[in-house]
Structure 1
Amino acid sequence: MPLTDTHIRSLKPEAKPRKYFDGGGLFLYVPPTGSKLWRLAYRFEGKSKLLSFGDYPAVSLKDARGRRDEAKGLLAKGIDPSAQKKAAKQEQVTAERDSFENIALDWHRTRLAGFSEKHQGTALYRLNTYILPIIGKKHIASLEAPEILALVKSIEGKGNHETARRVLQIIGQVFRFAIAMGKIKHNIAADLHGALRPRKVVHRAAVLGKEKVAHLLMAIDEYAGYYPLVCALKLAPMLFVRPTELRCATWQEFDLDAAEWRIPAERMKMRRTHIVPLSRQALTILKELKKFSGEGQYLFPSTRTETRPISDATMLNALRRMGYQKHEMSVHGFRSIASTLLNELCYNRDWIERQLAHGDSNGVRAAYNYAEYLPERKRMMQEWSDFLDSLRDKSWGK
C-alpha cells in the first residue's frame, strides 16, 4: 500500500531497522536512530542496486516519487541511475574546482606574487567588484565571448572606459593562466580585442623647444624651497625617470662611486630592474643632498615625517608656484622633454627607449637586458646633462 505523509509522520523507530515500501522499488528506511531515509531498490545488468534520495522531510514524499520516476526513465534508456548520480556529483566537484573564481584567485596568488601590494590589491579589488560576482561561479571552460563582452560593456556603459579595459585585461590574463594549467585550450577574451572603445590617449603637458626648456631650467635654479624638493626638481630633467620612481628613491639604490642608480624591479612600472647612469652634475647634487637626508631611507623625505617620501603633489605644486599651469608642464613632462630633444639630437633611438625604461616587445629579453647599451647610455646621459647646462648658459647670456 502506498505511503502517505500522515503515515510517515507517525512512524516511530524500533529496535531493528524497518522498511516501508511505497511502490516501484521506492521505500523509506527507518533505523533505530529515528532517521527516515529514502531508498530505491532496482536491478541493472542483472545486479541488485540501491540508490539514496535523501531524508524525510527534507525530501518530501512527492519529491521522492519524482526522483524514483526519473531513475526509472534512465533505466528504460539503459542508464544506471547510480552511475549517473556519481557522474553528476563529480561534474559538480570539477565545476567548482575549475570555476573562474578558483582559477582567478590561483592566478592572483601565483602570477602577481612578485608585484607590489598596491598592484595586487588593485587587481583583487577589480576581481571582487566587477568580475567574480558575474562569472565567478561558472566553469571557466563553459564561458563564452558574449558573456565576457556583456560584462565589460556594462562597465563601459557607465562611463568607466579605463576600468572596462583593465577588467578585460585581467580576464584575459586569467584565461592565459588557465591555458597554461591545461584547463582550457583557447583565450576567448583575446577574441574581444577591439570590442571596447579605443583608449583615450592622455597627453602629459611638457614645455618643448630649447628656449622654453632653458627658461624652465632657470626657473628651477631660482626656486627657493624645501631643500630635498629643490634637489628633486634639479634631478628630474637630468634623469627623466617616472615621477614615482624619483620621489620614492632610497639611498640604498645608489652607488655614487660607480655613478649608478639601480631601481629595483618592484618599483618599476614594467617590473624590471632599471639602471640610471649618473652624470657629474647629478653626482654633485646627490653628494650635497646626502649631507641632508643621507642618514634616512629616502632621498626626498616628506616635510612631515622621514618615514615617507614627498608626495605626488609636492613637485607638481612647485611647478605651479613657478608659474607653469596645468596645460603647460607636468612632472611627467620631464620625460617628454628628454625623449623629444634626445631624438632631435640624433641619439640612437634604442638607447633613448632603454633609458626611458619603456616596454620591450620581448618581455623575457628585457627582463635580463636592463644593462643593454649601458656604455652608450652612460655617455648619452653625461652629454645630456652637458646639453642642459649649455641651454642655461645660452639663456643667461641673452
Structure 2
Amino acid sequence: MPLTDVECKNATCPAEQKRIRLADGQGLYLEVAPNGSKRWFWKYYFNGKEKRLALGSYPETAPKAARLKRDEARLLQQSGTDPAQARTVAKLQRKAAAVNTFEAVARDFHQLKAPGWSEHYAARWLARLEKDVFPWIGKLPITDVKAPLLLATLRRVEARGVRELAHSLREACGQVFKHGATLGACEHNPAATLSSALRPVATKHMAAVLEPKAAGDLMRAILAYEGQPATRTALELSALIFQRPGNVRAMEWAWVDLDAGMLTIPAESMKRVKSAKVNGRPHFVPLAPRAVELLRDLHPLTGHGRFVFPSLLTGERCMSENTLRTALRRMGFDNDAMTPHGFRAMARTLMVERLNVHPDVIEAQLAHGKSGPLGMAYDRAEFMEQRRQMMNTWAEYLHRLAQGGEVLPFKAA
C-alpha cells in the first residue's frame, strides 16, 4: 500500500539503526534517519545495474509529489536514458548557463582579441557593450538571448538616433555569439538574422572636389592662401601626396628624405591592426619635385623641431586636426564642399578618370588593403618606380589645373 502523509509524518528510526526504509511502491521508498531527516529515493535498474535516485526531502516533498517525480524518472528510464545521468547533465548545463552569460562570453572574447587590436579600438568595443548591451542582456545565459530580445536591445540605441552605432553593436554581438559557439556556450548567432531588421544607415561620403575645373579652383585658392606658411604648405602637400590627414599633420622630419625624394611613414603610425603596426613594413610615399620644393622651403621654419607641421601653440605637438579644415573654410570650401580627407578621393577619382592610372597602383599609394596579385605586388618596395611616376604625373596635372589648363584627359610626356 502507498504511504499516507500521516505515516510519513509519524515515521521514526530507532537510535541503534543507521536508517529505516518505508516502501511506497514501484521502487519508491522513504528513508528515515535517527536524527529525524526523511528523504525520498527511487530504486531502479539500468543496464542491469541497481541504482537509486534522490527525489527530495519530506515534508517539503509530499508523497504525491514524490510519486510524480518517480513516474517522470521512469519515463526517462523506459526511453533508454539513465535518470541519474540525465540529472547530472542538467545540473552541469545549469551551472554552465550561470557562467556562460552573454556578458561573460563577450568579456572572454574581448580578452582574447584585445592584444591584437589597437588600444583605442579595444577600449571602444568594450565600452559600447557596457553602455548599451550589458545592462539589458548581459546577465542572461547566452542561450537565452534570442533574436527578438537582441533586436529590442538594439532598437533602444536606434531610438536615440544613432543608427550607425546600432549596426556596429549588432556586428559586435555577432562576434560574441560566434565566439560562444566555439566555446560550446551556444549554437546559434541571432545577430546574423537582424541585418535587415534595423533601419539603414544613410552613408555620407567625405566631401571632396571630384571635377578638374573645381580642382583647379581649389589649387589656386591654396596657392593664394595668406594664412600661416606651414598651413598653406600642409594644404598643398595634402593634395600632392593624398595621405590620411592624421599622417600629414603628424609628419616628422625624421620621416623625410629630401635628397631621395621619399617620405617613409613608420608602420606604427599607419592605420592598421595592432600586429601590423608592430610587425608591418613602413609605408613609402614618393615625393614629386614640387613636394620636395615645398618641404625644403618649410625646413628653415620648422626643421629645428620634431614635426614638419607643429602646433601653432607649442612645437611639442603636431598641428591640430581642425587647422586644415578651418583653412579650407576660410578659402570658401565648407564641409559640404571639401574636407582634409577629401584630397584622397580627389586624387583617386581624377587619376583614374583623367590620367588613366591603374587603380591598384593608386590603392597602394593610399595604403588601402588590396586584393589580387597585382594589388599585392604594387605594395612591395621594388615596384616603387610605378608609384614615383604616378606621383610625378599627378603633381604635373595639379599644376596644369592650377594654371587654368585644359581639363581633358591628360597624358604625361
* TM-score range for the pair, normalised by the shorter chain length: 0.7 to 0.9
Q: Deviations over 1:206-239 (max 9, x none)?
A: 3343333233223223334444433322211011
- Matched position secondary structure for 2:115: coil
Give 1:114's aligned residue. 116
Q: Secondary structure of 1:25's match?
A: strand
SS at match of 1:113: helix
- Residue 350 of structure 1, CA deviation: 1.8
1:339/1:352 contact within 8 Å kept: yes
Equivalent of 1:87 in 77, 89, 97 = 89
**Match for residue 375 of structure 1 among 379, 382, 385:** 385
Q: TM-score, normalised by structure 2?
A: 0.72
Rounded to whole Å, the distance in 2 between the matches of 1:277 and 1:262 is 11
Q: Which residue of structure 1 aligns with residue 43 of structure 2?
A: 43
| Shift, 1:65, TM fit | 8.4
CA contact (8 A) 2:310 2:317 kept: yes
Task: Tell me, yes or no, if the aligned pair for 2:105 and 2:176 is still in contact at 8 Å.
Answer: yes
| Aligned residue in 2 for 1:387 | 397
Contact in 2 for aligned 1:298/1:309 (Cα 8 Å): yes
Structure 1: gaps of 5 or more residues: 5-15, 31-35, 55-59
Q: How many residues align?
A: 374
Contact 1:100 1:135 in 2 (8 A): yes
Q: Which has the larger radius of gyration?
A: 2
How big is the alpha-carbon RMSD for the aligned residues of Structure 1 and Structure 2?
Answer: 4.2
Which deviates more from structure 2 when the two are superposed, residues 344-353 or residues 37-46? 37-46
Q: Give the TM-score, by structure 1 length.
A: 0.74
Does the 8 A contact of 2:147 with 2:193 survive in 1?
yes
2:337 corresponds to: 328
Task: Report the CA distance shift for 1:167/1:20 in structure 2 as closer, same or farther (over 3 A).
Answer: farther
The alignment status of 1:357 with 2:360, answered yes or no, reads: no
Q: What corresponds to 2:408 in structure 1?
A: none
1:268 shift after superposition: 1.1
Distance 1:84 1:299 in 2: 71
Q: Secondary structure at the match of 2:265?
A: strand
Instruction: Tell me whether 336-345 or 296-305 shows the greater mean CA deviation.
Output: 296-305
Q: Are 1:152 and 2:161 matched, yes or no?
A: no
Q: Percent identity?
A: 31
Q: 1:370 to 1:127 in 2, by over 3 A?
A: farther
Q: How far apart are 1:306 and its partner, in Å?
A: 4.0
Question: Secondary structure at 1:206's aligned position in 2?
Answer: coil
Offset of residue 126 of structure 1: 1.7
SS of residue paired to 2:284: strand
Q: Partner amino acid for 1:332?
A: H
Distance 1:187-1:299 versus aligned 2 partners, 3 A rule: farther
Tell me, in whole angstroms, the C-alpha distance in 2 between the residues paired with 1:104 and 1:25. Answer: 47
Q: Displacement, 1:201?
A: 2.1
Q: State how far apart, in whole Å, the 1-side matches of 2:235 and 2:228 are.
A: 11
- 1:73-113 superposed Cα distances (whole Å, 9 cap, x missing partner): 54444476654443222112333454433332232233342
Match of residue 224, structure 2, among 222, 228, 252: 222
Task: Measure, in 1, the Cα distance between the counterparts of 2:289 and 2:34.
Answer: 91
Counterpart of 1:212?
214
Q: C-alpha separation between the residues in 2 aligned to 1:39 and 1:224? A: 94
Q: For 1:36-185, list aligned pairs within 5 A.
A: 40=40, 42-45=42-45, 51=54, 62=60, 71-77=69-75, 78=77, 83-140=85-142, 143-178=145-180
Residues 360 and 153 from structure 1, CA distance in 2 versus in 1: closer, same or farther, beyond 3 angstroms?
farther
Structure 1 position 348 matched with structure 2 position 353: no
- 3-state SS of paired residue (1:276): strand
Following the alignment from structure 1 to structure 2, what is the Cα–Cα distance between the partners of residues 80 and 71? Answer: 14
Q: Tell me the distance in 2 between the aligned counterparts of 1:134 and 1:20.
A: 51
Q: Is the 8 A contact 1:44 1:80 kept in 2?
A: no
